[in-house]
A = this chain, B = another copy of it.
């Protein structure tokens, strides 16, 4: 089993990565838990709901299954309230534990529900998409969307454990694999040039879900993210570099309507745009812009951004959480393996949009 330790102020928890973890979820439930809420969606429930429920029932605790409608379009306050309805009508108390079985949407919503139910209860992440395994399940960011912006309502709330079963990726649609790989290569681009080069050499095996290759990629990704989060849980500085590609990516998701592009696809495309902007503003080599475009394409993500109209693009990026006092903030890379945050002149952003929008 691969084990990654996350150590942030006030919380410490393990990420366990291995085939078959789904059958051992009972090991993640704290001994003093009263009741367990298994939050999932119909798609994941049909594949893995019964196995997860059986493993949790081995704790001897009552397990209540809560199925939320599938997809980013339902990541809102209204759906969140359905979780509260069930928790309250089922008598969940302050020592109850939630288990998030699903992708990023389920993880973010379950984590946020846990953050604010009775002002905070514990939860376990069981991410079933590659994206969630390498990104959203690590770091304690939880929340829901608002019609005017993604993840605008949320909290920092760390899980008590993250259980990654690499077997479940076998049932993942290829688009979701590509979306997850976008976040994997992102860690190389901002933090680890050798890992980036390794991804370039193994793009085909990664897409083909070769177990050994994938296991390595997930462990390194979780380690890199855990290191960043440990140094900066609240995203006051360093952690912001994890948002490489996200200012552009969020605009794509919000502009097209959530759910049209997968989050990882938008981030992949956004990384190409961030690379172009880095070339404009911080001297990122043009040859490396092409390396980024090539690897994003090689993992199966789009490299041409949707045409939302330039003014709408700018407006969507201005509402991003990273904007401060009206200035749009970006993560940029002076060279592969390094990242900085900063503002960018509007004309540079306009040139990037002109070059990257299809």
Q: Which B residues are in CB contact (< 8 Å) with A34? A: 324-325
Q: Which B residues are in CB contact (< 8 Å) with A355? A: none
A325 touches B148 (CB 8 A): no
Interface membership of A174, Cβ < 8 A:
no
- In the assembled complex, the Cα of A118 lies from the Cα of B117 at a distance in Å of 18
Binary contact track A29-51/B, C-beta < 8 Å → 1, others 0:
00000100000000000000000
Choose one: B84, B119, B141, B148; the contact of A155 (CB below 8 Å): B119
Q: Which B residues are in CB contact (< 8 Å) with A154? A: 116, 118-119
User: How many of A's residues come within 8 Å of B, CB to CB?
Assistant: 39
Interface membership of A319, Cβ < 8 A:
yes
Binary contact track A87-121/B, C-beta < 8 Å → 1, others 0:
01101011100000000000000001001111110
Q: Which B residues are in CB contact (< 8 Å) with A85? A: 146, 148
Q: Which B residues are in CB contact (< 8 Å) with A141? A: 119
Interface membership of A152, Cβ < 8 A:
yes
Choose one: B94, B118, B153, B325; the contact of A84 (CB below 8 Å): B153
Choose one: B77, B89, B149, B326; the contact of A81 (CB below 8 Å): B77
B77 touches A323 (CB 8 A): no
Least CB distance, A148 to chain B, in whole angstroms: 4
Of residues 46 through 100 on chain A, the ones whose CB sits less than 8 Å from some CB of chain B are: 77, 80-81, 84-85, 88-89, 91, 93-95
A155 touches B115 (CB 8 A): yes
- In the assembled complex, the Cα of A235 lies from the Cα of B121 at a distance in Å of 13
- In the assembled complex, the Cα of A89 lies from the Cα of B148 at a distance in Å of 7
Interface membership of A302, Cβ < 8 A:
no
A95 touches B156 (CB 8 A): no
B88 touches A156 (CB 8 A): no
B115 touches A148 (CB 8 A): no
Q: Which B residues are in CB contact (< 8 Å) with A117? A: 152-153
Q: Which B residues are in CB contact (< 8 Å) with A175? A: none
Interface membership of A321, Cβ < 8 A:
yes
Interface membership of A318, Cβ < 8 A:
yes
Least CB distance, A300 to chain B, in whole angstroms: 31
Known: A88-B149, A116-B143, A120-B156. 19 other contacts (CB 8 A): A34-B325, A77-B77, A77-B80, A81-B146, A85-B146, A88-B152, A88-B319, A93-B321, A93-B324, A94-B321, A95-B324, A95-B325, A116-B116, A116-B153, A116-B155, A117-B153, A118-B321, A119-B141, A120-B155
A-B contact pairs, 18 of them (CB 8 A): A34-B325, A77-B77, A81-B146, A84-B146, A84-B152, A85-B146, A88-B146, A95-B324, A112-B116, A116-B116, A116-B153, A117-B152, A118-B152, A118-B154, A119-B143, A119-B151, A119-B156, A155-B155
